[in-house]
Structure 1
Amino acid sequence: MKLTVEQIDKIDVILDELGLEFLDIKLEIKDHIACQVEENMSSGETSFDASLVYVLKYWKSKLILRKSWLISNKKSFPKIVIQKLFKRFLIYNTTLLFFMILSFYFFQNYKKGINDSMFFSKYSTIIYSCFLAVYSVLWLKMYFQKIKTSYFYQFKQNFYLLFLFQFYMVFLSSASINYLCFSLILILTPFQLHTFYKHQQFINKYQLKCN
């Protein structure tokens, strides 16, 4: 038995109230819940409201608000959101840590050459600012789409980190700081571009479906 638009909208409202703000994850969960409700109603003996209550009991443990230091130490998310983001953030943080250690090792071994290099003393801040300007344009594009996705959230987290390091480059300018910031933005660039691509891919599919 197919659910009506009004019934699907009711599921949507409930998920909003439970803190599922990322549209990509919310739509995935909404589809699962709708299918389970339809399956319960297929016998014709159970009403929509009764089926929805039954299915939400099954999802209750997955929708409890939790915090995760890996994702955010200030904000709570439904447990299932944390589970879906955990692997993504774990891969990102592990890769970032690995390459930053390699970068630090390189700096320690070639510190004298970097200190004497005109490239790092004069142009690293400019190059960093250019990268940050590109990310600012991408951030604004996603922001004005007014659709929150888990990819946009991840992009924002990295963008704020890069924006913070911009101040270190300007006010604490040194070869070591410039090298650290320059390495950071190079390491984060593949993640940022991939995250932006995944966000746009979802938006395009969502808008195509709506039209």
Structure 2
Amino acid sequence: MELTKEQIQKIDLFLEGIGIEYIDIRFEMVDHIATEIENNIEDTNAFFEGKGFQVPFIKYMLSRKKALKNRYKKQTKKLHWHYTKAILKDILKKAIHPKSLLVILFFSFICFFFGPKYVKETSVFIFSSLMLNLAYTSYVSYKFTKKHKLLKIVKTYSFVSSLFVITALNFPNFLDVFYNGNYQESAIYIHLLAFVFNYLLTQSFLEKRDFIEKKYQYLIQ
């Protein structure tokens, strides 16, 4: 017997209650559990009826709690690396797009041509460009990221961006370079790499944003 919307919602609420946080993963688990119940339980109405912990459904779900949480952890880890690889591949594709290629060549020319002669000026230019790009990224993605923060793919975009930029700002430490005046030619190329990466990541995210919103709009309240 096919489950009702209310019964499916009970499955979803139970999974949320035991810590199944990401709603895209939870939706797949809800669908899987609902199919199992439909295939194995003859009287689904009786299965969901009762009070407190005497409900057959609650007993069934509690008996599988550990297995469900383990499955969630494995699925989260699997999707994390799946989305990370997909994002990095998309970044490589974006790098050879004519528009992106012009931006990369422009900033690379400035850094490699002027960098060795004008270390301070080039450092300030590329670092300012990086900061402006990060500010723009934050501005265009803040509301969307806040609304969709429980989608694993959105979380992975945030993770990839934060990891790479934080690394770039600390090797060498940007405070030592820009606040203490210890300008280094190597820092120019590190910040250039961070700028290019974040620029391409932003292009990838903006392209995927509408697709993500349409695909998961029924999951976001």
Superposition TM-score, scaled by structure 2 size: 0.63
Q: Is the 8 Å Cα contact of residues 151 and 198 (structure 1) preserved in structure 2?
A: no
Amino acid at match of 1:176: S
Structure of higher RCO (CA pairs closer than 8 Å, 6+ residues apart): 2
Amino acid at match of 2:137: Y
Q: Where does residue 132 of structure 1 map in the other structure?
A: 134
Tell me, yes or no, if structure 1 residue 21 matches structure 2 residue 21.
yes
| Stretches of structure 1 lacking an aligned partner (at least 5 in a row) | 66-76, 97-106
Match of 1:64 among 62, 70, 73: 70
After superposition, residues 99-114 of structure 1 pair within 5 angstroms as 114=115
Tell me, yes or no, if structure 1 residue 187 matches structure 2 residue 192.
no
Q: Is the 8 Å Cα contact of residues 22 and 149 (structure 1) preserved in structure 2?
A: yes
Match of 2:215 among 179, 201, 205: 205
Structure with bigger strand share is 1
| Stretches of structure 2 lacking an aligned partner (at least 5 in a row) | 49-54, 92-107, 178-182
Inter-partner Cα distance in structure 2 for 1:80 and 1:146? 19
Amino acid at match of 2:174: M
**How far off is 1:53 after superposition?**
5.8
Counterpart secondary structure, 2:115: helix
Tell me, yes or no, if structure 1 residue 85 matches structure 2 residue 80.
yes
Counterpart secondary structure, 2:174: helix
Amino acid at match of 2:12: D
Q: Where does residue 115 of structure 1 map in the other structure?
A: 116
Q: Where does residue 34 of structure 2 map in the other structure?
A: 34
Inter-partner Cα distance in structure 2 for 1:209 and 1:26? 10
How many percent of aligned residue pairs carry the same amino acid? 20
Q: Where does residue 147 of structure 2 map in the other structure?
A: 145
Amino acid at match of 1:126: S
Work out the number of aligned pairs and report it.
Answer: 188
Choose 29-38 or 196-205, whichever is displaced more: 196-205
Q: Is the 8 Å Cα contact of residues 22 and 150 (structure 1) preserved in structure 2?
A: yes
Inter-partner Cα distance in structure 1 for 2:220 and 2:190? 44
> In terms of Rg, which structure is larger?
2
Amino acid at match of 1:180: I
CA root-mean-square deviation = 4.0
Q: Where does residue 11 of structure 1 map in the other structure?
A: 11
Structure 1's 154 and 147: CA in aligned 2 closer, same or farther, altered over 3 A?
Answer: closer
Amino acid at match of 1:157: F
Tell me, yes or no, if structure 1 residue 175 matches structure 2 residue 185.
yes
